[in-house]
A and B are shown apart, each in its own frame.
With several copies, the nearest count.
Chain A
Amino acid sequence: MLKLLYFAWLRTKIGMAEERVPLPAGVTDVAGLIEWLRGRGAGYADALANLDVVKVAVNQEYVPFSHPVTAGDEVALFPPVTGG
């Protein structure tokens, strides 16, 4: 299983904060996971349309889209941060 987390406007566009999915067949990295998510519905496609404004953390560390994804990972997708 993967634990998927969405924050800020990715959360509102996708319509949920968190979900658990089996590691999709053929998905080996973040880029592949995003491609698979885009096919799950209009909300996902909209949220993930422009990857210039999407950041990724795997197991709570920032990673590039080329980072591997394996079963058991916590993958978070969110916009550039605006705290402080």
Chain B
Amino acid sequence: MSVRVQQQDFDIGAELAALSDGDTGIGGVCCFTGLVRDLHPQAGEAAGTVRALTLEHYPGMTERQLEAIETEARTRWPLSASLIIHRFGRMEPGERIVLVACASAHREAAFDACRFIMDWLKTKAPFWKLEETDRSGERWVAARESDENAAGRWV
């Protein structure tokens, strides 16, 4: 069980190996990686118009919220191991922003817990995205109703 909030990139292969190494009761690992996209469909920007994102966060509260989300996931599903890494700072399209990985004896639990963590993280973890776009300059990304709906599914 581990939460990391960091500026630097991460190595998915190494993280997943560390997550499951030595625990031969694990049957499956579900892992989600979020990447910086070069477009922001909600705002009507065409592909290629987002030059970079800057992720701002609330040091202290971010870690507490991510730990609470991970704890909730481990209450709901029988996980052998879990990991949340979320980056902050400036990133360009194609860069990794977030990694969530859940290991369990059962694939259903691994899939459900990973998706639950991503859904809750999207609506509860105090991060904010500032986009640099060709057309509009800098713009704070607005929260999406679809993320609220996805998070509400787990209540």
Contacts and interface: CB of A to CB of B under 8 A. Distances in A.
A13 B21 CA distance: 37
Interface string B122-149: 1111111110000000001111100100
B14 to A, nearest CB: 22
Nearest to A9: B140
Contacts of B140: 8-9, 79, 82
B60 A79 contact: no
A84 B125 contact: yes
A14 interface: no
Nearest to A55: B126
A23 interface: no
A4 to B, nearest CB: 13
A83 B142 contact: no
Interface of A: 5, 7-9, 11, 53, 57, 60-62, 76, 78-84
The 8 closest A-B pairs by CB, nearest first: A83-B127, A80-B143, A8-B128, A60-B61, A84-B122, A82-B141, A9-B140, A82-B129
Given A8-B56, A57-B61, A84-B34, 16 more contacts: A7-B56, A7-B58, A53-B143, A57-B126, A60-B64, A61-B64, A76-B61, A78-B126, A81-B123, A81-B127, A82-B140, A83-B97, A83-B122, A83-B125, A84-B125, A84-B127
